[in-house]
Amino acid sequence: MEKPPYTIVIAGGGTAGWMTAAALARFLERGYRIRLVESEAIGTVGVGEATIPQLRLYLDALGIDEDHFVRTTHGTFKLGIELENWLGDGHRYMHAFGNVGRDVGLIAFQHYWLRARQMGIAAGLDRYALNELAARAGRMHRGGPITAPAIPSMPYAFHFDASLFAGLLRCFAEERRVERTEGRITEVMRDGDSGDVAAIRLDSGERIAGDLFIDCTGFRAMLIGQTLGIDYEDWTHWLPCDRAIAVATAPLADPPLFTRASARKAGWQWRIPLQHRTGNGLVYCSSAISDDDAADLLMHHLDGAATGDPRLLRFAAGRRREGWHRNVIAIGLSSGFLEPLESTSIHLIQSAISRLLKLLPGHASGAADRAEYNRQTDFEIERIRDFLILHYHANTRPEPLWQACRAMTLPDSLGAKIALFAENGQIVREHEELFTEVGWLQVLIGQGISPKGYHPLADQIGDDDLAEFMETIPLLYEREVAQMPSHADFIARHCAGAMARKG
């Protein structure tokens, strides 16, 4: 006798719900029934329009053509994140994707660069990052090198309209038998014996039962929080911003190849260029500035006139103490929230989906699967948290909020990483933490943390050879960038959206 299908119910749509539904539909073709419940009356947060390169893996896994994705979501390309004013107004640096310089022998490039800087023969770190040179020049390329085989490829990510992305994924999922039900969840019912969630009831009266439930209900966390009682661990003592105001402006004629994050007196402002509009917002601490003053601050620093009314969002940085409890897995905002300073929100959805597929519960799943899922989830979000805290802590701004951030007690994991780098420029990437050594390097140097020394093996190269090494890399990279098309031309050639073509 054939077993009934294993039913997975996704509570909530938006980016988290439809990314999950699309991935499950792609890989669970037999023996599973995938249902998604959402209400058109419930809005989504919709500020996660900037990503990191890992999203390309998700698109590839689902077989979604990249140009079709960019065209459909009115997207642009992204080579890094520009951080402005974190060491005071006018200061800027970039956390660019990809390599910085070239490693030689047993040690990383930064040790040769640190030695060369002490000798006065090193250019700024930005000159050794191909992605940053291309981003500053407004030039985009994908694929192999143009001018020399030794040139590295350029990792890239995207800026895009998150609501259009959800719509694209909805079409993808429904074509693969995902069943969507419109309705508002009014009740979550539990099994009296096991304590698991048995079903959800909608405002229409319909009861939807399942074996596994994915909580994508956003900050409400209706299943994992309200029903199963899993507490939320608040991290606002490390990441003090708890509100955001978002507003759109007209599209930029030549959209930059980077997200901009500009520190302000009580938080920071984002700018995300799309083909059909520019996304802007101010992330701020409500105890340091009023909502009205925050709105005024944002409007004063826009590149153009607002095209709509600002939207206010409230949040608390932190994470759910268990991302998987009983037969409920929280994905998206229901599992935790880290502000979009390093564009990690959509990646956290993606990595949760990957863990779900790798540890997919069967009819005999138990505590070991859940414990491993939660262990991996905790490690990932804690390391991303540390990376964000670094931006807040290592600052030289004069305002009270920033003074308090400089004085905060750091997580032990971050304190150890800073201390290790400050001595001799060492950076150790633990296990599969998200940000690489070169990512940490750019932010540590960019935020003003300068090591006292460097690895002694960097002294094994002669002074003249070191000088030539430091001069050659920027020349090679600049020659490569000069051969690339402009970002606007690249989009026009490959993936211009309908609205952009009309413009």
Reported confidence tier of residue 26, pLDDT bands at 50, 70, 90: very high
Could you tell me if 461 and 112 are in contact, meaning their C-beta atoms sit under 8 angstroms apart?
yes
| The pLDDT value given to residue 46 | 52
DSSP 8-state assignment for residue 254: S
Residues of the binding site: 13-16, 78, 333, 342, 346
Question: How far apart, in whole angstroms, are the C-alpha atoms of residue 417 and residue 86?
Answer: 20
Is 44 a residue whose pLDDT tops 70?
Answer: no
Is 302 a residue whose pLDDT tops 70?
Answer: yes
Angle between helices 367-393 and 400-407 (to 10 degrees): 120
Could you tell me if 148 and 480 are in contact, meaning their C-beta atoms sit under 8 angstroms apart?
yes
Is-catalytic flag, 78?
yes
Buried b / exposed e along 359-370 (16+ C-beta atoms within 10 A): bbbeeeeeeebb
Residue 9 bridge partners (DSSP): 35, 213
Question: How far apart, in whole angstroms, are the C-alpha atoms of residue 32 and residue 28?
Answer: 6
Q: DSSP for 153-176?
A: P---EEE--HHHHHHHHHHHHHHT
Global pTM reads: 0.96
Helix or strand (DSSP H, E) at 487: helix 487-494
Average the pLDDT over 171-193 and give the result: 97
Q: What is the pLDDT of residues 413-438, one digit of tens each?
A: 999 999 999 999 999 999 889 999 99
| The pLDDT value given to residue 47 | 52
Residues of the binding site for L-tryptophan: 342, 346
Residues of the binding site for FAD: 13-16, 333
3 CB contacts (<8 Å, ≥6 apart)? 31
**Cα 99 from chain centroid (whole Å):** 19
Is 45 a residue whose pLDDT tops 80?
Answer: no
Task: Please pick, among 3, 78, 358, 502, the residue that the annotation labels catalytic.
Answer: 78
Average the pLDDT over 36-55 and give the result: 80
Q: What is the pLDDT of residues 159-170, one digit of tens each?
A: 999 999 999 999
Which residue carries 């693969």 as its tokens? 176
Residue type, 29: E
Angle at 346 between CA 188 and CA 275, to 5 degrees: 125
Helix or strand (DSSP H, E) at 38: strand 32-38
Helix, coil or strand: residue 360: coil
| The pLDDT value given to residue 247 | 95
Kind of pairing, strands 197-202 and 185-190?
antiparallel
Q: What are the structure tokens assigned to 19, written together?
A: 């990314």
Overall residue count recorded for the chain in this entry? 503
Could you tell me if 236 and 351 are in contact, meaning their C-beta atoms sit under 8 angstroms apart?
no
Superfamily of domain 80-155+243-314+392-490, CATH level 4: FAD/NAD(P)-binding domain (3.50.50.60)
| The pLDDT value given to residue 497 | 85
Least confident range of 42-46, 90-94, 97-101? 42-46
Question: How far apart, in whole angstroms, are the C-alpha atoms of residue 83 and residue 91?
Answer: 8
Residues of the binding site for 7-chloro-L-tryptophan: 78
Residue 104 bridge partners (DSSP): 107
| The pLDDT value given to residue 503 | 43
Could you tell me if 139 and 485 are in contact, meaning their C-beta atoms sit under 8 angstroms apart?
yes
List phi, psi (to 5°) of 190: -110, 150
Could you tell me if 152 and 100 are in contact, meaning their C-beta atoms sit under 8 angstroms apart?
no
- 3-state secondary structure labels for all residues of 49-100: CECCCCHHHHHHHHCCCHHHHHHHCCCEEECEEEEECECECCCEEEEECCCC
Residue ranges covered by each domain of the chain: 6-49+161-234+317-365, 80-155+243-314+392-490
Residue type, 1: M
Phi-psi region of 46 (alpha: psi -120 to 50; beta: other; left: phi over 0): left
Question: How far apart, in whole angstroms, are the C-alpha atoms of residue 24 and residue 29?
Answer: 8
- Closest by CA position to 25, among listed 178, 184, 154, 138: 178
Q: What is the pLDDT of residues 427-478, one digit of tens each?
A: 999 988 999 999 999 999 999 999 999 999 999 999 999 999 999 999 999 9
Buried b / exposed e along 274-291 (16+ C-beta atoms within 10 A): bbbbbbbbbbbbeebbee
Q: What percentage of the chain has pLDDT greater than the value 70?
A: 96
- 3-state secondary structure labels for all residues of 402-456: HHHHHHCCCCHHHHHHHHHHHHHCCCCCCCCCCCCHHHHHHHHHHCCCCCCCCCH
| The pLDDT value given to residue 40 | 84
List phi, psi (to 5°) of 142: -135, 150
State whether CATH 2.70.70.10 applies to domain 6-49+161-234+317-365: no
DSSP 8-state assignment for residue 46: -
Question: How far apart, in whole angstroms, are the C-alpha atoms of residue 208 and residue 214?
Answer: 13
Question: How far apart, in whole angstroms, are the C-alpha atoms of residue 180 and residue 501?
Answer: 33
Q: Are the folds of 6-49+161-234+317-365 and 80-155+243-314+392-490 the same?
A: yes
- Closest by CA position to 59, among listed 46, 73, 45: 73
For 321, counting Cβ atoms within 10 Å of its Cβ (0-12 exposed, 13-18 middle, 19+ buried), the class is: middle
